[in-house]
Structures are given as C-alpha cells and as structure tokens.
C-alpha cells in the first residue's frame, strides 16, 4: 500500500495495484507534514505541524504512541529497519531518535543550521542521514549520538565532505567554499588544506573507525599576513632574472614558513629557520627567478606554526625580452626487478618504454608538421606558400632509468640533472612498486628495502625543476596487502604533491590480486589509457587549430587536462573489459592547461 496525508490530519492508505482506498482515519489534529510505514506495514509514523510525532496502527487508525520533544513543526519521520526506533527532523534544527515501544526520546542530534526536512536510516540501522534548509546532508552515528560527516554540494559540481574534527575531502575547488569556525574566528577550509585535507581519514571516520589527530574545534592559530613587496604589481621587466622579495608578519599563530609560486608552479617552500628577520618583527625571503616572455604571475602564501595557510598575495609582471622555444624533457622510470629478489613485475618497464617511444616518434616527425596551432603566444610561419605553425617543441630530451639503474640515487640524479628552462615542459613517468600510509606515499626504487622515495621528497625534487609546466604519472603496484580503502589512501599525498608544486598528477595504484592479471597484457591498463589518450582519443576542443590549406582535415591536439579527463573515464572501463576490478585514477590537475601532443591528420 501507499500512504497519503492531508492538511486536515487525515491519513489514507491506497492499494497500489487498483488505486483503491483501503483505509482512512484521522491521524493528527493538525497538518501532517510526513508519513512513513514501518517494515511490515502495520504501523505508520506521522509528523505534525504541532511539534508532535504520532505512531498509529494502520488497520484500526488507533493512536499507539505520541512522541513529544520538538519545539516546532516536525517535517520528516522514518522508522528504523527493525521498527524499534524512529527518527524525526524538525524546524527546530534538530534530529531526534525515539524508542518506539516506549515513546522515549533517546538522543537529539544537533548541528543543522536551519530546518531539517528529510530523515532516513541506513539499511543496517547504524546510521541516520538528515538533510536541511542549510544545504547540508549530515550522517550520524545512531548508537554514539554524534555527527560523523557533513556533505555539501555546490554549483559547477563542486562538493565537500567534512568531519566535525575538521578533516575533509573535497572536489578540486570545493575547499574554497567550506568554512572552519572556532570561537569568533572563521576561515576558508582552503587555509587548512595541508593539515586537514585527508580523504583516507574521512573514509575511516565514515566507516566508524575513529582516528586520533588534530581537532579544529579546539582552535587554530591565526595565519600570517604575507605580501610580495618587490617587484610591484604591473611592473615591466627587461632582465631575464628577477628578484622576488616576500615578507610575512606574525598575526598570533607564529610563522612556520613561506611558499612562492610562479605561474601556478611551486618554486620553493622555505622554513622559518632560513628566513631573514625584519625590524618590524616579520620575516623576509628573496628569490632569484628566471622569467618567461610575456606575463609572469607570482603568488606567495605563509604558514602558521600549526600549519594554517594564509590567504595568498599575487603580483603580475611582464617580461619583454627573450623568445619562446619550449623543449620537452621526459624522465621514464620503470622497475620490474628489484634487488630484494621479490616477485618481478611485468608492466613497469614496458610501460615506461612505451611512453618514451610515443614522444620519441613524435619528435622524429616534428619537422614535417603541417598544422597551425594557435597557443597564447604561438608564431605563424609561411612555408612554401602554406601557412603552418611552429613545432610544439623545439627540442626533445629524455632520461631512462630501468631496473638496476633505477636506484634511489639514480632516480634523484635523473630529476636533478634536467636542464629545463621555465618555458619548457617536463613529463615524469614512474612505474614500479609503491606503498602508502595516511600522510605519505612511497615509490620503491631498485634498492627499495632501505631507500624508498617519499611523496614529500618527490615534491621537493619537482619544485627544484625550473620548468613551469610539469606532469608526473605514477603507475604502481601496491607492495604488501591491498589497503581496504584502495586508492583513497593515495589522495592526500598526491594532492599535496600537486598543491605544493603546481604539477599535474595522475596516479593509479593496483593491488596484488589485480596486478597478477597484468601478466596476460603487454602493458598495464594505466599506460594503455595514457597512450590511447595521447594518440588522439583525448582530443582537446579548447585549443584552437586551423585546418591545412585547401583541406578540411585537422590535427588532433591533446592537452594535459583533456588527457586527465579521458583517463578518468577510460581507465575503469579498460579494467572492466579485462575482467579486472575497476581502477579509478587519482588526478589532481590544478595548474594551467597546455598541449602535450599533436596527432597529424594523416598519421
């Protein structure tokens, strides 16, 4: 049967098959705002405008129990799956839990900032979910009587999931839309990204695994004020190297360090001990930065002692000298065999060689490009009467490290030895074993047992590379048991790599069971998706390109963001096609978009 309830307090039960009314009774003296059957259909919960909840017997219409406790209209009710408990949500901003056999109020869940309009139990009865006019969906632990997670969605598909302790997970720009409050202090969650962005911890909290750590409700230090004091905004510079001076002042939370970005790419993160003190009680740091022709945007932030980040300060300047001749630098690392003689991998070396081979082939064909690619500062040339564009890259440089050459020092040397300039593009591909913890992800080099490379170290190595356009791919096999939360544990370290360096990060970690299925494949699903995308399936439609003279044919341009979007969709599909559990890549792609490959129309 189905229920209907009216403004006059009348309840009607209807037979679904025939539409016939089978029962009618007056269940409430006032407007009924919500009605719910219990599991066997014998009883009904009624939410009243008069702040009361009634339990009635459907067969007789008899009132069995009245639940009193709300201080305003009740908008929603729900039975637990076993019928022993009831939920109600009201305009008094509370969700209340009741014992149906006695009518006793067991708990009042408080947290909503406006009227609660929807309540429901999860199928196991252990959680309650409520939604309200404050735009929040809240999940409650029924037995403990505490809020577990608050969920908010915004326009443009942005969202945020926040635990009361402050830990959160969010879409790429979701943290900017959330706030943290302690006393009379209110800051954006973006200011707490380094300390509290933790998808793994949010997942564990949501599954009832209480974890220790910071609690934002205990307060937080006020972040420093930070400014770029030289050069001035809008300045025009003629020298290739500029001196950038950043100053931070303590606002009560101390100063832990300063971070500088150049066109969205992290330049250097400096701890307090390396900063010069000023007479005004602040600290200062000067950087020598190589500029790129055209616009150069510098952004500085500073951190308090407890890791709270300041609002950024930006200065844009223009460099009038030089010319753009971008080179592509590729570091390909693949490790199948390890010094510890553990089970060898099959996919790592072929994957790294496949990526290197793709770009090597592109470079060999570069002289015959007949496309016209109009980038922000692209040149246009006439060749033999036909208008063409300059090659995407003026040079290609690669470094390979496989198996015994991919030691810790070998990998570090490959990265530190890059001769990249600010206008260049750097691609890094790592394939091999990895392991993950709550705050760090480790790539295991050939001499892995003693010398894993942490995600923090990788961030530092990336910041030391002058190129402003950097991409890093991780195709890894999880060493040891597969974490119960899978790639969720990788999200925090990967996000921090991207955030602190400005690099685009695309990663996937495969568990032991699924990795065994790679033996049937020439390459892992990750590198297959990557290479298919680069070969044109990830075509970008945001980069303008003109067809060849006298022809409607056009080349396919693949950018880093179109590639990331393609891999996010295609990698799980490829896994399912091979009879594997779907692997979703971890992607953090917050920097500016730029082209990676151009696939000629006649290739």
Can you give the CATH number for the domain in which 374 is found? 3.40.50.1460
For residues 273 and 385, state if they share a domain: no
Which residues are CB-neighbours of 428 under 8 A, at least 6 positions away?
330, 331, 333, 415, 462, 470, 471, 472, 473
Between 178 and 427, residue with greater pLDDT = 427
> Domain ends where: 184, 218, 252?
218
Of 369 and 78, more confident: 78
Closest among 247, 192, 195, 244 to 225, alpha carbons compared: 247
Please state the domain count of the chain: 3
The domain boundary, picked from 174, 196, 218, lies at 218
Considering the domain architecture, whether residues 154 and 301 belong to the same structural domain is answered as no
The proportion of the chain whose per-residue pLDDT surpasses 70, expressed as a percent, equals: 88
Q: What does the radius of gyration of the chain's CA atoms come to, in whole angstroms?
A: 30
Q: Are residues 164 and 239 in the same domain?
A: no
Percent of the chain with pLDDT over 90: 61
Provide mean pLDDT across the span 485-501.
87
Least confident of 64-73, 208-217, 436-445, 463-472: 208-217
Provide the 8-state DSSP code for 555.
P
Mean pLDDT of 535-542: 85
Burial of 126 (0-12, 13-18, 19+ CB in 10 A): middle
Q: What's the rounded Cα separation, in Å, for the pair 213 and 168?
A: 13
Tell me what pLDDT residue 310 has: 94
384 & 251 share domain: no
DSSP category for residue 534: I
Same domain? 417 vs 445: yes
Q: What is the mean pLDDT of residues 340-357?
A: 89
Is the pLDDT at 580 greater than 80? The verdict is: yes
Residue 386 and residue 453 in one domain: yes
DSSP assignment of 473-491: EEEEEE-SSPPTTTTHHHH
Do the Cβ atoms of 176 and 187 come closer than 8 Å?
Answer: no
Nearest to 119 by CA among 77, 72, 67: 77
Answer whether 593's CB lies under 8 Å from 559's CB.
Answer: yes
CA distances (Å), origin 542, targets 45, 343, 374, 502, 595 = 54, 44, 11, 21, 10
425 and 513, same domain (yes or no):
yes
Distance CA 259, CA 275 (A): 11
Dump pLDDT digits (tens) for 254-274.
Answer: 999 999 999 999 987 666 556
Residues 101-150 have pLDDT tens digits of: 999 999 999 999 999 999 999 999 999 999 999 999 999 999 989 999 99
Check whether residue 115 and residue 194 sit in a common domain: yes
Query: What separation in angstroms does the CA of 387 have from each of 76, 325, 370, 381, 543?
Result: 67, 19, 8, 6, 18
Q: What's 10's domain CATH number?
A: 2.130.10.10
In Å, the largest CA–CA distance within the chain is 93
Say what the pTM is.
Answer: 0.86
Same domain flag for 336 and 462: yes
Asked if pLDDT for residue 550 goes beyond 60, the answer is: no
Instruction: Tell me what the pLDDT averaged over the chain comes to.
Output: 87
Angle made by CA atoms 163, 169, 170, in degrees to the nearest 5 = 125
End residue of a domain, out of 218, 237, 263: 218
26 and 53: one domain?
Answer: yes
Q: Residue 25 pLDDT > 70, yes or no?
A: yes
Are residues 595 and 531 both part of a single domain?
yes
Whether residue 9 is found in the same domain as residue 147: yes
Domain that holds residue 274: 225-319
Highest mean pLDDT pick, 31-40, 176-185, 518-527:
31-40
Residue 404 has pLDDT above 80, yes or no: yes
CATH number of the domain residue 253 falls in: 2.60.40.10
């Amino acid at each position: 049967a189905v229920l209907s309830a009216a403004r006059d307090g009348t309840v009607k039960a209807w037979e679904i098959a025939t539409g016939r009314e089978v029962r009618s009774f007056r269940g409430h003296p006032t407007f009924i705002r919500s009605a719910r059957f219990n599991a066997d259909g014998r009883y009904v919960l009624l939410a009243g405008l008069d702040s009361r909840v009634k339990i009635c017997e459907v067969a007789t219409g008899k009132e069995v129990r009245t639940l009193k406790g709300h201080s305003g209209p009740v908008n929603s009710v729900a039975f637990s799956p076993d019928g022993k408990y009831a939920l109600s949500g009201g305009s008094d901003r509370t969700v209340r839990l009741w014992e149906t056999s006695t009518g006793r109020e067991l708990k009042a869940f408080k947290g909503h900032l406006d009227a609660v309009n929807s309540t429901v139990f999860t199928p196991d009865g252990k959680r309650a979910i409520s939604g309200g006019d404050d735009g929040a969906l809240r999940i409650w632990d029924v037995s403990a009587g505490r809020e577990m997670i608050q969920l908010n969605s915004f326009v443009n598909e942005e969202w945020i999931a926040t635990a009361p302790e402050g830990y959160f997970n969010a879409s790429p720009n979701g943290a900017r839309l959330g706030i943290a409050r302690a006393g009379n202090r209110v800051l954006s969650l973006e200011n707490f990204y380094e300390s509290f962005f933790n998808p793994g911890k949010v997942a564990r909290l949501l599954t009832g695994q209480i974890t220790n750590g910071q609690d934002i409700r205990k307060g937080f230090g006020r972040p420093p004020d930070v400014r770029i004091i030289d050069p001035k905004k809008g300045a025009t510079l003629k020298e290739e190297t500029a001196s950038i001076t950043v100053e931070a002042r303590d606002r009560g939370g101390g100063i832990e360090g300063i971070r500088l970005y150049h066109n969205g790419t992290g330049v250097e993160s400096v701890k307090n001990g390396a900063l010069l003190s000023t007479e005004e009680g602040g600290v200062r740091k000067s950087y020598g930065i190589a500029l790129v022709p055209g616009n150069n945007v510098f952004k500085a932030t500073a951190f308090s002692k407890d890791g709270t980040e300041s609002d950024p300060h930006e200065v844009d300047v223009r460099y009038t000298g030089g010319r753009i001749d971008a080179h592509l630098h590729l570091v390909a690392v693949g490790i199948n065999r390890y010094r510890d003689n553990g089970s060898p991998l099959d996919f790592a070396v072929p994957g790294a060689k496949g990526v290197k081979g793709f770009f090597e082939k592109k470079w060999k064909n570069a002289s015959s490009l007949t496309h016209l690619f109009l980038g922000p500062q692209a040149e246009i040339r006439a060749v033999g009467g036909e208008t063409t564009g300059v090659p995407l890259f003026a040079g290609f440089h690669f470094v390979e490290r496989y198996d015994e050459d991919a030691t810790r020092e070998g990998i570090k040397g490959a990265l530190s030895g890059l001769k990249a300039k600010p206008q260049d593009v750097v691609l890094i591909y790592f394939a091999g074993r990895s392991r993950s913890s709550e705050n760090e992800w480790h790539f295991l080099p050939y001499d892995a047992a003693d010398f894993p490379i942490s995600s923090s170290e990788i961030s530092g190595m990336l910041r030391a590379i002058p190129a402003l356009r950097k991409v890093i791919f991780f195709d890894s096999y999880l060493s040891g048991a597969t974490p119960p939360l899978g790639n969720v544990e990788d999200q925090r370290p990967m996000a921090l790599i991207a955030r602190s360096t400005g690099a685009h990060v695309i990663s996937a970690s495969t568990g032991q069971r699924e990795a065994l299925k790679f033996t049937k494949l020439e390459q892992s699903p990750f590198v297959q998706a990557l290479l298919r995308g680069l070969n044109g399936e990830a075509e970008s439609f945001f980069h303008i390109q003109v067809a060849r003279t006298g022809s409607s044919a056009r080349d396919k341009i693949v950018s880093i963001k179109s590639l990331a979007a393609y891999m996010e969709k295609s990698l799980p599909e490829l896994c399912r096609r091979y009879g594997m559990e779907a692997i979703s890549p971890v992607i953090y792609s917050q920097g500016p978009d730029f082209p990676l490959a151009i696939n000629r129309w006649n290739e």
